[in-house]
Amino acid sequence: MSVRARPISPHLQIYRWTITMAMSIFHRATAIANYFGMALLAIWLLAAALGQEPLNAVNFVYGSWFGQLVLFGFTWSLVHHMLGGLRHWVWDFAVMMEPGQREAMAWATIAGSVVFTLLIWTVFVWVG
Amino acid sequence: MHNDHLTPQAIANPKAHYGDAKASTRHFITQRVTGLVNVLFLGLLLFVVVRLAGQDRTDMVAVIGNPVIGVPLAVLIAIAAIHMRNGMRDVLEDYLAGAMYRLVMLLNTLFCLIVALAGAGAVLKIVFWG
């Protein structure tokens, strides 16, 4: 008698992706990015507190193309996580959970985060 | 709270009580309240970064050194650090257990403490001593 492997519970790769599932994963991913991104803020503030020399070094790194790329990503990550968190606040009142509603809110999260981020960088960095 | 001894039988039994009800509720409410406060933090952060990105120390001291901006900024950084530690705990509980969980949770606490002390400390240094 041949021995078949035990069935195991289905995991991510078995499911068709849905927008609510994607936004749930994005919420955690942006949380982790923000967690480490906060070190960038602390380093900048610490450099400013220490003196002009360290601040110059930080400004040089943050102002480089790679630094700007990271800060753009950090901006989106913060905005996305904020909108995702506000979505959880709405859900905490047991509303907007029905099919259609939750998908609409999930799409609003991703669309809103992209629009807000582009708006912030357009108004304050690229044009300002 | 983390359960090292949680059995599948306990999970399957709807009458079983496991986990720390009070600590878990506190964890949840803390996370929601600090999260809402973080909306203010992002607003102030946006103002400070837009105003000061790439600027010299004198400009940073002029803006952050103003207690009306500096003191709330320091407080909001500390609150954000609480939210960070709380949230990372959720992630760690999902993927780690036992000694490894406790070790990484310790690193989590240290990281958040350093971010809070360095960030808020730097701001308060600028506010009170320039």
- Which of B57, B115, B123 is nearest residue A52 as measured by Cβ atoms? B57
The answer as to whether B34 is a domain residue is: yes
Q: Supply the pTM of this predicted model.
A: 0.90
How many angstroms separate the CA atoms of A79 and A112, rounded?
A: 8
CB contact under 8 A, B38 and A52: no
Query: How many domains, in total, are found in chain B?
Result: 1
Of B123, B55, B85, B38, nearest to A52 by C-alpha is B55
- From chain A, pick out residues whose CB is under 8 angstroms from the CB of B57: 48, 51-52, 55
CB atoms within 10 A of CB B28: 13
Residue span of the structural domain in which B73 resides: 20-129
- Mean pLDDT within A83-107: 96
Domains and CATH numbers, chain A: 18-127 (1.20.1300.10)
Q: Is the pLDDT of residue A80 over 70?
A: yes
pLDDT at B1: 45
**What is the rounded distance in angstroms from the CA atom of residue B2 to the CA atom of residue B9?**
17
Name the DSSP letter for residue A7: P
Instruction: Judge whether B125 lies within some domain.
Output: yes
Candidate from A9-18, A32-41, A60-69 with smallest mean pLDDT: A9-18
Q: Which of B42, B84, B118 sits opposite A46 (nearest CB)?
A: B118
Are the CB atoms for A7 and B81 separated by under 8 Å?
Answer: no
Partner residue opposite A55 with nearest CB, options B42, B57, B114: B57
Mean pLDDT to the nearest integer, A54-80:
98
The whole-angstrom distance between A20's CA and the closest CA on chain B is 19
Task: Identify the weakest region by mean pLDDT among A6-15, A68-77, B61-70, B78-87.
Answer: A6-15
| CATH code for the domain of B54 | 1.20.1300.10
Q: Is the ipTM of this complex over 0.95?
A: no
- Split at pLDDT 50, 70, 90, the class of A14 is confident
A5 or B66, higher pLDDT: B66
Tens digit of pLDDT at every position of chain B (130 positions): 455 567 777 777 888 887 788 999 999 999 999 999 999 999 999 999 999 999 999 999 999 999 999 999 999 999 999 999 999 999 999 999 889 999 999 999 999 999 999 999 999 999 999 8
Kindly state whether residue B3 falls inside one of the protein's structural domains: no
Residue B14 domain flag: no
